[in-house]
Amino acid sequence: MEEIKEITTAELEERLSKGENIELVDVRENEEVVQGMIPGAKHIRMNDIPENLNYFSKDKEYIFICRSGMRSENVCHYLQDQGFKVVNMVGGMLDWKGQTV
């Protein structure tokens, strides 16, 4: 299995603070995202990823987010196997100190 690229919550927060245009995808369940999402993130539940492959472009890189970083890592493996560029946010929302909406 090919290794998944990772980004820490601090690295992501720094990139967002610089105004970088980053594709964020939150794969948590509906009841989890009501507690707050990173601004600009798209919500696609983990189990809905396979039927939403048309949302993703192979020309873009996507950062995946979940509660702790485990589900998003699984999504990254799945999408990387499909040929997409993926990055897992390690630590998930448990480690996120930045703004939420």
Report, as residue numbers or ranges, the catalytic residues. Answer: 66
Alpha helix (H) residue ranges in the chain: 9-17, 30-33, 70-81, 92-95
| Cβ atoms 57, 94 nearer than 8 A | no
CA neighbor of 70 nearest in space, from 92, 45, 93, 98: 92
